[in-house]
Every structure is written in C-alpha cells, then in structure tokens.
Amino acid sequence: MSLGLGELLLPMLARRRRARLRLGAHNALDFEKIAGPDRRILRVEASEGSQTPSVGATFKVGEQLGSIGSAPVVAPIPARVVDVTPVPFLTGGRAALAVTLERDAEIGSADKPGKPEKLPDDAPRAMMLERLDHLNVVTYGPEPEPLSNRLQADVATIIVNAADQEPLLASQAQLLVDRKRDIPAALELMKRMSGARRVILAVPAHLESVVKTRGANVLSVLGKYPETLNEMVARRAIATPHQKTKPERDAEGTSHKDVAGGASAPITVVTLEEALAAHTAIV
C-alpha cells in the first residue's frame, strides 16, 4: 500500500517536534517579531446591497470593509483604501472587488467588544447558535458562511470530519494531536447544537489510534484526497455497516441509501476545525 507525502511527513515532523522540545529552553530558537506588509489586497463581494469601500475611505483594525456572502471581511491593519478594482470571483457566478489597503499608523484600532458572559452548562440550543453568530464563527473554505446555518436544521446525524480535505495539508491532523482533550466536548456540543441523534468523528486511518471519544462513533477514512472531502466522507458514513438502514443526505443535500434502503434522514458535515472553533466560542 502506497502512502501519500503528507502521511510520510507527519510522523517525521512529530519526531522533530518532540526532539526540539527535549532540547530545553536554553537551546530554544530566538524568534524576532517583525511587522507585516504595509500594503494588503483583500477580496470582497460586489453585489447589489453589499457594502463596498471607496478610494480614500479609512478603516481601523477590525472594522468591516465588506463581506463574502454572509461572512464579514475586516481590515487587518489600520489603513486607507488606495484602489478598488473589479476582479473575477474565483468560484464564478458573482462579481468581486480587489480592495488595496495601505497602512496608516494614525488611524489606530477599532474598539474591541467586551468578552461575552459564559453561557450556562444547560444553555438552550437557540442561545448557543446566537453566540456563534455574535462571535462570527464561520465555516472554512472559499465561500464562508455562518456555522450556525449548518446547525439550525434538525438532522439525524452530524459528521465531524477530522481529515484534511486538501492534498499535503496536515492542519486537521495536528488538531487531533494538539486538542485531543477538547474533542469529546466539541463532539457533544455539535450534537446538542444540531439536534442530531448521533455524532460521527471521521479520522484518517493512520491516526485512529490517537482518538479517544465518548458517545461518538469513529469512522476510519482513507487519508488522501479526494476521499477526505466532506461529500465523500458523508457517502462513506452512509455505506458503513454500523449505520441504520435509512437513506441519508450528504453535505450538499443529495439523498443516498445504503444497501437496505429505507426512509429519508438528513445529515450534515462540519470540519474538526469548525467544531473546535464552536467549542472555544461556547465554553
């Protein structure tokens, strides 16, 4: 069986990291903090009714200058807009603007919102979804959307995909290692927020041994593209023997049936990164 480059590199990088930690603080590398570039180009959606910045407008750090879909785009530096140019939208179908910002140190930063109060342990589902919207917890990808959109509709099963969907990336795999103590609570939170009866954690087969969960099924998937895509993971979950004999729906709403067939039962898929972001926002 051949292994992908990411599968070969991950164990090696983990060994190097452990070896570096054993060196001790006296041998640690010195890191120098450097300033980011003074010019940034951001993409925002250009559609009727959407917020579009104009040349000469100023933005503090954290102020919204536009959006992509329902996800806000904020200024990463205190800056003045020096150019706004129409560009093709990468995924087609919509117009976009390339907004060029130049740093202006006199502008400063936007006022930071106060830290929200901790939600009670038995907080109702609606309150938790409202907290996600308040903190702008969004999905990851070329067209972000509020994570609450995927969790509002009642579903029978929610799948948390811990496999990296792009070749040669290992960000999700690293989360399995670095935040494994938070994963059980994040899975339970996804179950409560979606109203699902069952939660499934999909992990690459070579990392299944590092996962310890409570109250969740663990689905082993082939850790290479395209088997790691949300849609493919959903199809694999439907086809596994432990699934109930009911057809379910993949991440795009397409209906599927297993060998036995049966009535319809919707499912939804979120990434491990999204589930842990929700856990951080709520807990």
Each residue of 19-41: pLDDT tens digit?
554 444 445 556 677 777 899 99
pLDDT at position 10 over 90: no
Q: Given this model, what pLDDT does residue 110 score?
A: 66
Q: What are phi and psi of 38, to 5 degrees?
A: -85, -10
Closest CA relative to residue 204, chosen from 219, 215, 186: 219
What pTM value is reported for the model?
0.60
| DSSP-based three-state secondary structure for 203 | strand
Report residue 244 as tokens. Answer: 């109930």
What mean pLDDT do residues 106-135 have?
A: 81
Q: Where does the pLDDT of residue 88 fall: very low under 50, low under 70, confident under 90, or very high at 90 and above?
A: confident
